[in-house]
Amino acid sequence: MITLEHVYILTGVMFAVFAIGRALDRSSPRRWRSAAFWGAYALSFLAGSHLPDLVNGMILMVLVVLAASGLASADAAAPIAERRDAAQRNGNRLFVPALAIPVVVLLGTVFAKELHIGNAALLDPAHTTLVALALAVLIALALGCALLRVPLLAPLREGRRLMEAVGWAAVLPQTLASLGALFAAAGVGRVIGQLVTQAIPMTNGSIAVVTYTLGMAVFTVIMGNAFAAFPVMTAGIGLPLIVGRFGGDPVIMSALGMLSGFCGTLMTPMAANFNIVPAALLELPDRNGVIKAQIPSAVLLLAANTALMAIFVFRR
């Protein structure tokens, strides 16, 4: 059975190769610092599940110190003329590897129950989509190398360049999601609920709805992850007030609450995988250009989600 642990190992090997590649690059003045950063990140994937929590915490602190001290600059991309010539030469074949990923993920998710090796499922039933995504990336990688006729090391070199262009922000999604789980376990949501009810008189359900949706957006802006904000805000405001005190529908509250959190995702650099990575991949001159373009839509969507929740959450 292919489990999530195998995906972690595959990811860790990739980052370990990035670390080795940077360490061997003698032209970089900060090569050892960057190599240590990606090496520590690789270690968290390769052995994090087997290490004590204290050791994992120390690895995170090492990442913070290395990132704060400055990492090596990313290698320069291929000249625009060269990339344009390659695009014209390969034509629509460029889309085959990219389109293969969603197709394989969809097929793997839908037909996972039918895939078996003997009596054991091929894909971990608990993490089917994530495992299918990892397999889809490997298949797309093989298709890309075969169709575009590039050396096997080219994807690793380009992958390292893109990761170093993103820099330390690449680790934010993982660390912020962990922080959200930590906050939920520590009872931060309960404390936030107490502070909010002391500051804002919850005289009716509409006030609770506005507080909840705005809180989801703001907390997501801070944490960069709506999934991290959700348990905190739902435990502090959603369940005790909207559902408990005013009798709201928990399903409608949860769905529109998550959508409100996603509005915050559009407005924060902390959501690096959505907002910083595209800017780096597209080589935009303004690193926050994606966020600036999304803010008007995010505000309108947040207002719409708030209005919809206020209208429908109390109707049963």
DSSP states of 39-87:
HHHHHHHHHGGGS-HHHHHHHHHHHHHHHHH--PPPPPPPPHHHHHHHH
| Higher pLDDT among residues 139 and 194, named by residue | 139
Least confident of 78-92, 138-152, 219-233, 297-311: 78-92
Residues 113 and 185 in one domain: no
CA separation for the pair 200, 249 (Å, rounded): 22
> Residue 162's closest CA among 27, 273, 33?
273
Decide which of 150, 180, 205 is a domain's last residue: 150
Can you tell me the distance from the alpha carbon of 25 to that of 22, in angstroms, rounded to the nearest whole number?
5
3-state secondary structure of 121: strand
State the residue for tokens 């435990």.
235
Q: Is residue 164 part of a domain?
A: no
Q: Is the pLDDT of residue 189 over 80?
A: no
Q: Positive or negative CA dihedral for 265, 267, 270, 273?
A: positive
Pair (45, 142) in one structural domain = no
Average pLDDT, the chain: 85
Q: Is 270 found in the same domain as 206? A: yes
Beta strand 120-121 with 116-117: parallel, antiparallel or unpaired?
A: antiparallel
176 and 295 both lie in a single domain: yes
Least confident piece of the model among 102-106, 192-196, 219-223: 192-196
Return the structure tokens found at 107: 């097929």
Tell me: do 37 and 146 sit in the same domain: no
| Within a domain: 158 | no
Could you tell me the pTM of the whole model?
A: 0.73
Q: Which domain holds residue 115?
A: 80-150
State how far the Cα of 222 lies from the Cα of 184, in Å rounded to an integer: 15
Instruction: List, in sequence order, every beta strand (DSSP E) within the chain.
Output: 116-117, 120-121
**Same domain, yes or no, for 197 and 274?**
yes
Residue-wise pLDDT tens digits, 81-130: 877 887 888 888 888 998 999 999 998 888 877 777 777 777 777 888 88
In this structure, are 119 and 143 located in the same domain?
yes
Residues 188 and 244 in one domain: yes
Same domain, 293 and 274: yes
Co-location of 268 and 223 in the same domain: yes
Is residue 266 included in any domain, yes or no? yes
- Residues 51 and 103 placed together within one structural domain of the fold: no
In a domain, 273, yes or no: yes
Task: Give the total number of structural domains in the chain.
Answer: 3
